[in-house]
């Protein structure tokens, strides 16, 4: 207890750490009404955090991720300035539920808000793959996930967000795509990730995971929190889910994250032996000259506009093949798909690393790498990644 309080005072004055919280950490939770579910969630995913009692300029110390959550976190004018300074300095903000409301209210995020009266459980759709969505929908979706990601998000009374041009949507609701459920935005050197419905809040809805919540329980929505924290602590990791073809490859494309189009007798195979990385790789075999195969992530990838990204993969190919970065312009849920000139890759009988850089155009938020081969031969792919270049 003494150590906890001392460390909290050292790291983020005037932060106040409660008993039980780990005092020093990259993650700080702003105290306020109804933040306990978030604290419980962070404990379940084993992320140490400290608690900030009040936001003041320079008061966030070594904090790297500030969590604004609960019903109504106290973000006043001074708090706004503290957050602005924190973001300018390269910090990251995770704002969920009432935290998202506060960010929009203080004009710290480019969005408008809409609220249903009452609490409801939102089902979301991917506007594209993002670190936040990794692991969803999982091998056993609760229902037909194509109509949404059921139970992915629970709501307190958080906002539905109508995004402005600076923000990029990760998750939406089906229908006309008017609202975003989760979105991010670069602010200075920092990053803001907003999740309107509060995945850890809405304590009336634990029944979706279990009838009653007991210590040590893992909630479906904990993955979302874990993903959010991991993304904000290290935004440079690969944005492509299941890039090593390790999981769920015997399931439909929606669940394994990859779709493969085959023509004229071409076959796909998920091999578990001989992978250069991990325990599996994807092999496409075209038996004749007219055969062709095309591999692409099931959804486009959510990226930061105008930022350089590096595409990498390991490959083995008996004939040349191509990579094309298809671009999606406009707003979800039906952005316009545009082709781009493909990059040709030479054949290689041995496993090789392929790397190419691309700068995402300023009007594109959702590119998608498409690997294609045509003619008799084979193409093996593994460890596919797309990362922002520092």
- By CB under 8 A, name the one of 205, 206, 270, 351 that touches other proteins: 205
**Nearest CB to other proteins, comparing residues 205 and 270:** 205
Question: Interface residues for other proteins in 166-195 (CB under 8 A)?
Answer: 173-176, 178
Binds other proteins by CB under 8 A, chosen from 85, 121, 142, 233: 121
261 neighbors 169 (Cβ within 8 angstroms) = no
How far apart, in whole angstroms, are the C-alpha atoms of residue 118 and residue 154?
12
Residue 57 binds to other proteins (criterion: CB under 8 A): no
* Radius of gyration of the chain from its Cα atoms, rounded to whole angstroms: 22
Length of the chain: 390
Pairing assessment for the beta strands 364-374 and 292-297 based on DSSP bridges: antiparallel
By CB under 8 A, residue 334 contacts other proteins: no
Is 122 near other proteins (CB under 8 A)?
yes
Query: Which H or E element spans position 36?
Result: helix 36-44
Q: Is residue 339 a contact point for other proteins (CB under 8 A)? A: no
> Cβ of 339: how many Cβ atoms within 10 Å?
10
**333 preceded by a cis bond (ω within 30 of 0):** yes
Considering only 29-37, 65-73, 148-156, 296-304, which stretch makes contact with other proteins by CB under 8 A? 148-156
How many residues bind other proteins, per CB under 8 A?
A: 20
Q: How far apart are CA 110 and CA 129, in angstroms?
A: 21
Q: Which of 65, 83, 92, 123 binds other proteins (CB under 8 A)?
A: 123
Closest separation in Å from C-beta 255 to other proteins? 16
Q: Can you tell me the distance from the alpha carbon of 98 to that of 159, in angstroms, rounded to the nearest whole number?
A: 8
Q: Please give the structure tokens belonging to residue 333.
A: 């849920």
- Pick out residues in 75-114 that bind other proteins (CB under 8 A): 114
Q: At its nearest, how many Å lie between other proteins and the CB of residue 122?
A: 4
Nearer to other proteins by Cβ, of 88 and 174: the residue is 174
The pairing of beta strand 92-96 with beta strand 65-68: parallel
* By CB under 8 A, residue 119 contacts other proteins: yes
Q: How many CB atoms lie within 10 A of CB 177?
A: 16
Nearer to other proteins, 177 or 375 (CB): 177
**Nearer Cβ to other proteins, position 148 or 297?**
148
Q: With respect to other proteins, which residue has the nearer C-beta, 115 or 264? A: 115
Structure-token match 């790397």, residue found: 355
Q: Which alpha helices (DSSP H) does 19-166 contain, by range?
A: 36-44, 77-88, 98-105
Structure tokens at 76: 């006043």
Question: Which residue in 79, 77, 113, 76 sits closest to 97, CA to CA?
Answer: 113
Instruction: Kindly identify the residues of this chain, within the stretch 2-41, that bind other proteins according to CB under 8 A.
Output: none
Stretch that binds other proteins, among 115-123, 235-243, 291-299, 335-343 (CB under 8 A): 115-123
Nearer to other proteins (CB atom), residue 143 or residue 234: 143
Residue 115 binding other proteins, by CB under 8 A: yes
Binding flag, residue 215, other proteins (CB under 8 A): no
User: What distance in Å separates the CA atoms of residue 390 and residue 236, rounded to the nearest whole number?
Assistant: 7
Which of 128, 150 has the CB closer to other proteins? Answer: 150
Instruction: Name the site residues for other proteins (rule: CB under 8 A).
Output: 114-123, 147-148, 150, 155, 173-176, 178, 205
């Amino acid at each position: 207890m003494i150590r906890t309080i001392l460390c909290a005072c050292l790291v983020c004055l005037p932060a106040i750490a409660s008993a039980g919280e780990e005092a020093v950490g990259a993650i700080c939770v702003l105290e306020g009404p109804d933040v306990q579910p978030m604290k419980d969630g962070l404990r379940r995913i084993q992320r140490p955090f400290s608690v900030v009692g009040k936001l003041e300029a320079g008061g966030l110390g070594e904090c790297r991720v500030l969590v604004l959550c609960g019903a109504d976190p106290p973000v006043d004018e001074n708090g706004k300035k503290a957050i602005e300074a924190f973001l300018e300095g390269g910090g990251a903000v995770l704002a969920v539920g009432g935290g998202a409301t506060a960010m929009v209210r203080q004009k710290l995020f480019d969005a408008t808000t809409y609220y249903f009266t009452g609490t409801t459980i939102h089902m979301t759709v991917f506007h594209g793959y993002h670190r936040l969505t990794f692991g969803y929908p999982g091998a056993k979706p609760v229902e037909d996930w194509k109509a949404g990601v059921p139970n992915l998000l629970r709501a307190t009374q958080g906002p539905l967000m109508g995004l402005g041009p600076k923000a990029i949507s990760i998750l939406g609701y089906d229908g006309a795509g008017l609202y975003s459920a989760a979105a991010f935005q670069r602010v200075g050197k920092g990053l803001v990730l907003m999740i309107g419905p509060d995945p850890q809040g809405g304590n009336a809805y634990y029944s979706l995971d279990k009838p009653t919540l007991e210590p040590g329980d893992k909630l479906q929505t904990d993955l979302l929190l874990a993903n959010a924290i991991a993304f904000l602590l290290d935004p440079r990791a690969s944005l492509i889910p299941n890039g090593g073809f390790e999981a769920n490859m015997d399931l439909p494309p929606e669940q394994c994250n990859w779709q493969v189009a085959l023509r004229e007798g071409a076959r796909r195979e998920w091999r578990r032996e001989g992978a250069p990385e991990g325990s599996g790789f994807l092999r496409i075999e075209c038996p004749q000259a007219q055969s062709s195969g095309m591999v692409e992530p099931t959804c486009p990838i959510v990226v930061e506009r105008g930022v350089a990204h590096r595409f990498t993969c390991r490959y083995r190919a008996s004939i040349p093949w191509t990579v094309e970065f298809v671009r999606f312009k406009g707003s979800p849920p039906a952005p316009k798909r545009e082709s781009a000139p493909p990059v040709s890759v030479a054949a290689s009988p041995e496993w090789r690393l392929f790397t190419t850089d691309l700068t995402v155009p300023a009007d594109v938020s959702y590119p998608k790498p498409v690997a294609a081969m045509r003619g008799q031969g084979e193409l093996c792919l593994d460890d596919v990644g797309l990362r922002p270049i520092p």
